[in-house]
Amino acid sequence: MNRSASSRRTKTAIESPSGLMGDSETSTTAWTSTGEGRRRGQEVSRGPEETDQVQQPRFRLFSKAAALAALATLVITPALDATSTVLPRSVSDRPDERSGPQIHVMYVVPSDGADRALDTDGTIAASVKNWQTWLHGQTAGHGLFLDAYQGELDVTFDRLPRTDAQYASRGVFIRDAIESDLRAAGFSAPGKIYLAYYDGSSTAACGGGAWPPALVGNVAAIYMRATYGQGSLCYTPSLSLNGLQIMDFAALHEVMHTMGFVPTCAPHQTRAGHVSDSPTDLMYAGDQPWYPSVLDFGRDDYFDAHIPGCLDLANSPYFGATQSPAPPPSGKPSANYRLTVKVVGPGRVLSAPAGIACPRRCAAAFSKGTKVTLRPRSVKRSRFVRWSGACSGSKRCTVVLSRPRSVSARFREPAGGSM
């Protein structure tokens, strides 16, 4: 999207209520344009409130049956286990266990809002665990650095100064107001992104985040009592206690925006910080309903994409190894085998399960019996030619790790180039 100084547009905070919206003709998202750029603390979709509204395609709402079907596909991670501990309520940010950039989670309630104690009953901790566990699965044990205290997620409670109606009256600018009020309360530590689970209502949006450099801010927010269409709830928070649900994906989606994703230099970037290549992508926006299940479909936009000068989650200071290896059962040594990949020519190879993204990461250890599928990805109009080693031919390469294996992938440069 063109973000010139004379005509700058960003998308609203709606971010796909219940994850089941694509862009089409009915209600829920608005676009704004401004010639003066973004002011501090405004939302991803926002321009100043006084800017003119610009008509753009709006999200399509899908049936309740489709919503339930989609939610059923998302319950894929366990709820908090018996060993999980939720800290007692705190109204301040406890001492940090680690230095550097990190995500601080908050439960915030409007001045007249009902306090459902979601910070102490495990709901918010479960939501964060759900999306972090999913991220681990997508990135071979890497995730976002979370603010913790005594080994547990540090969640801060804040009773906000405005009423629910006052925040709701801000329309698509609710996040802006929340960020302003949290900053005034002292939540503005350098290097911290504040993920606010806001227990308030909205009929204009289901959440929002910043999007630097076009929109600088430190708060990502989801609105847990928001509704869309004819009054359907965007989220049901208690579902997080049973496993991964759409609210959890939405929270991670808004954090990603606030970290700067998806950058405009990504080849499939669209609609102010989203991608267009698959509705299964965490950061998708488009004409199809959103069914998130993949971090950067094709690994060519914002994770391990290797685009020179382009923001990449793999290199973010908020991202790193956050999952400890599971101990072997019954004290027996674990059986892991190494898969090594070699790329010849201008191309890339990605693995499922995640672990290999060659030529950057060309070897990974997988447990015995793991079936690893390797996918070739051409770059700069090159062409995949063939596999060799543990795979052959030019079709899909699947390797079962019963011993250490190695695979080579050969790519050919486009006409006019040389190997």
**Domain stops at, among 258, 284, 299:** 299
**Domain stops at, among 257, 284, 299:** 299
Same domain, 38 and 152: yes
- The yes-or-no verdict on residue 212 having pLDDT over 50 is yes
Indicate whether 258 belongs to any domain: yes
Indicate whether 417 belongs to any domain: no
Indicate whether 319 belongs to any domain: no
Same domain, 157 and 110: yes
Same domain, 264 and 405: no
What angle, 0 to 180 degrees and rounded to 10, lies between the N-to-C axes of helices 64-74 and 246-259?
80
Indicate whether 53 belongs to any domain: yes
**Domain stops at, among 282, 299, 316:** 299
**Average pLDDT value for the chain:** 80
Same domain, 53 and 107: yes
Distance CA 304, CA 312 (A): 7
- The yes-or-no verdict on residue 20 having pLDDT over 60 is no
Same domain, 83 and 195: yes
pLDDT of residue 331: 53
Same domain, 270 and 134: yes
Same domain, 124 and 56: yes
Indicate whether 107 belongs to any domain: yes
CA distances from 96 to 91, 101, 158, 193, 251 (A): 15, 11, 18, 14, 22
Other beta carbons within 10 angstroms of residue 87's beta carbon come to 17
Same domain, 281 and 406: no
Indicate whether 316 belongs to any domain: no
DSSP state letter for 131: H
Question: What totals of helices (H) and strands (E) does the chain contain, helices first?
Answer: 5, 26
Q: What total number of domains does the chain contain? A: 2
Same domain, 289 and 232: yes
Same domain, 262 and 138: yes
| Per-residue model confidence as pLDDT tens digits over 394-414 | 888 999 988 889 999 999 987
Indicate whether 307 belongs to any domain: no
For residue 21, what is the enclosing H or E element? none
Indicate whether 310 belongs to any domain: no
Q: CATH number of the domain at 35, please.
A: 3.40.390.10
Domain containing 333: what range? 329-412
Least-confidence region, from 70-74, 210-214, 259-263 = 70-74
Same domain, 288 and 407: no
Confidence of residue 121 (pLDDT cuts 50, 70, 90): very high
Least-confidence region, from 1-5, 106-110, 167-171, 227-231 = 1-5
Confidence of residue 333 (pLDDT cuts 50, 70, 90): low
| Per-residue model confidence as pLDDT tens digits over 50-80 | 222 222 222 332 333 333 334 333 444 445 5
Same domain, 120 and 66: yes
pLDDT mean over 274-303: 94
